[in-house]
Amino acid sequence: MVVMSHDEFSALADRLRSAAAAYYAGDGTQLMDDATYDAGISELRTMAAEHGWTDADDLLTQVAGGQGSVGRDGAGSDTDGVPHEVPMLSLDNAMDDDELQAFFDRVAHKTGVPTDDLAWVVEPKFDGMALSVRYHDGKIARIVTRGNGLVGETVGHVARHVSGIPAELPGEASVTVVGECVMTHEDFAEANRMRLEHGERPFANPRNAVAGSLRAKNRDYRVPMTFIAYGAHAPAPDPTAYTTDPMPERYSMTISRLHNLGFTTAADVVGNQPVARGSAGAMAQIARIEELRQTFSMDTDGAVIKADNPHIRDAMGEGSRSPRWAIARKFAPDTRETDLLDIEVAVGRTGNLSFTAKVAPVSVGGATISSVTVHNVSEIARKGLRLPGPDGTAQRVVVRRAGEVIPEIVGVADVSPGEDKTVPFVPPSLCPNGHALDTTGVIWSCVLGRDCTVSAGIRYAVSRDCLDIEGMGTQITDALVGSGIVNDVADLFGLRVTDLLTVPRLGESNATKIMSQIDKARTLPLARILTALGIKGTGRSMSRRIARHFGTMGAIRAATANQMAEVEGIGPIKAPSIVEEIAELAPVLDRLEEMGIGSARNMDAAPPSSVEGAVSESPVAGADTAPSALPLAGKSVCVTGAMSGALAGMSRNDVNELIESLGGRAASSVSAKTDLLLTDDPESGTGKAKKARELGVEIVSPDEFARRYMGGVS
């Protein structure tokens, strides 16, 4: 049993309030990991029940995963709020199977129904923000955040921008639907892309991104979000008025009805699961969800178990904080505390400095993490990161895998008061190669730019996404740069076999193969040559947009900052630096032009090698083909998921280049202007496929795409 004094109880409550306030009301910083927070809440509940202490009632009433506006003390704010017709309660947590079995036994004892006869609905516990959507006469009347469970904030301005919320219900239905607003992994990536394009700092994590985006009313852009419904009730005071065909009583039937009305539900994410019979059946479904969570398109941190039978729910009733007929079984957290050991500084191909935190190896979300990107000096300072002191005492930090893929440090762990023996991180005064730094921007860089790290720039230029010169690995490029034979991209196209033979242990046969790859790269279109140049602020996708917008290298070189800003995704902030760097590359561009590199008729990209023959047989044709004659001319195509069939093995970039070589426009998200969604899973009920169906966008599989636009390749 937990034993603590009242002062210790109050101190723990204050720490948990601070953690909740920082996470939900701030910028997404975590002062403690999920497991520590959950354990702290459990301790508070135990001691509050034991001694009747009420200091933490506000904290224990709120729910971590669905909290709305948070005040200084971490509790939901009720200032100028909207009262909920029915309180939006939180859920008690079961941290292991023993606690879960104790819950099943309590329900069986209270209701008199044998444990094995109880029916349960098991759903993923989504990591987002709870909303209440009120319909009146079939139309949305208001959307309100959970807030403190009794009062929330109105956020009706987002109604048209959240997938999974039908704009209207059939007939004159009046009903309140509750659910979780989340960001899928694709939503989160798109949201951060939009943030960066508008000169704003990226979101820290999907849950925080949802909270901030729901409240944002004055943005000139809207980020994608998804609503997952998990309940409904009639508006007070007349429970018979909400529909002529009331929602069924069983919870499973209610969810089915919501799905039929056009709401996204848990079944759309995890697939249909039968109602579980008994504790064994429920635990089996929990295990299935935990096994599948890596494949879900959004973050989940547990499973929710709810009694299906309304008579069981009535018999169990509800407490002041949570229903007694439902519980959340938490999974192993995707955030963990560990020691920050060092921050390493490196200089990249364009001269930009990168900062990497080395941490004590820790398992997060199924992977062992030891290195984490910390972006820049401003981010290091904002998160208060410090290095180990002389005695080796290290700072405790919270590490998370964003989207269960990319590791990040989300903040400094909340530690017990005491002497801080760590030392500040001192930003470098010179680049790692000893040259002066330009520190005027958020991203620090070497004043020599790409000349500081020629080898890194050449390695990037010959990579698959750029010139795709197979066989020219790190040892060869470093040797050519070290000997002074290659100093820029143009030098690559001036290489001879005799130059390659100067590389130690490189034979004539391999040198000849590399030369054939270089000759092949000479015919690449403008977009790929631009990518190889490694212009700051661009990449493969942006290079395609620039090439499509201007058409020729001459037009790109002559473009003003205002003209460059007209390119999709660039804008007035990034344009001047891109124009400036193109001007700095003039000598290299002159030599490329003399060799005819990048002067081929630009169809945005050359067909990827894996489908080269297929495209040549289709109506794409070659340099003289008019864009309007291409099979995808004028069409906007969005790609999602891994490819199979005719496009198996192709990356997202490969497919986007293929689309543009066929005359289409590769879109990053689904909108009303999208003509096609290309996906390996056309029947998916979530993410872009779900949104495409809602908007009436045609969905095609890779094989259908090949048959229709690539001459029936298989």
Residue positions annotated with a catalytic role: 125
591: tokens are: 């030599």
DSSP designation for 229: E
DSSP 612-623: HHHHHHTTT--T
Packing angle between helix 586-594 and helix 571-584, nearest 10 degrees? Answer: 70
3-state SS class at 56? coil
* Distance between CA atoms of residues 376 and 206, nearest Å: 21
For the chain, helix (H) and strand (E) counts, in that order, are 26, 26
**343: Cβ–Cβ under 8 A, 6 or more apart, which residues?**
355, 356, 357, 358, 374, 380, 385, 387, 425
The 698-700 sheet, strands edge to edge: 665-667, 636-640, 676-679, 698-700
Q: CA 347, CA 21: separation in Å to the nearest integer?
A: 36
Tokens 């990034």 belong to: 574
In the block, residue with structure tokens 């879900």: 296
Token representation of residue 458:
């050449």
Which pair of structure tokens corresponds to residue 694? 């809602």
Determine the residue type at 622: G
Q: How far apart are CA 399 and CA 494, in angstroms?
A: 47
- Angle at which helices 206-215 and 6-24 cross, to 10°: 70
DSSP type of residue 118: -
Q: What are phi and psi of 436, to 5 degrees?
A: -65, 155
Token pair belonging to 452: 């500081």
Cα distance from N-terminal residue to C-terminal residue, the chain: 65
- The two tokens of residue 106 are 């309590």
Rounded Cα distance, 502 and 494, in Å: 15
Count Cβ neighbours within 10 Å for each residue of 435-457 and write b for 16 or more, e otherwise: eebbeeeebbbbebbbebbbbbb
3-state SS assignment for residue 200:
coil
d(CA 394, CA 298): 33
Please list, in sequence order, all residues whose beta carbon lies within 8 angstroms of the beta carbon of residue 191, skipping any fewer than 6 positions away: 183, 203, 209, 213, 223, 224
Beta bridge partners of 76: 70
Q: Say which residues have a Cβ less than 8 Å from residue 226's Cβ, sequence separation at least 6.
A: 162, 163, 164, 181, 182, 183, 184, 187, 264, 298, 686, 687, 690
Nearest to 274 by CA among 296, 252, 290: 252
- Tokens 């620039």 belong to 546
Task: Give CA–CA dist 71/22, Å, rounded.
Answer: 10
CB 391, CB 419: distance < 8 Å: no
CA distance to 141, 261, 264, per residue, from 169 (Å) = 12, 7, 14
Identify whether the C-beta of residue 382 lies closer than 8 Å to the C-beta of residue 409: no
DSSP one-letter code for 441: S
Token pair 């949201």: residue: 191
DSSP 66: G
The two tokens of residue 126 are: 């989504």
**82 and 90 Cβ atoms separated by less than 8 Å:** no
List of residues 6+ apart from 5 with CB closer than 8 A: none
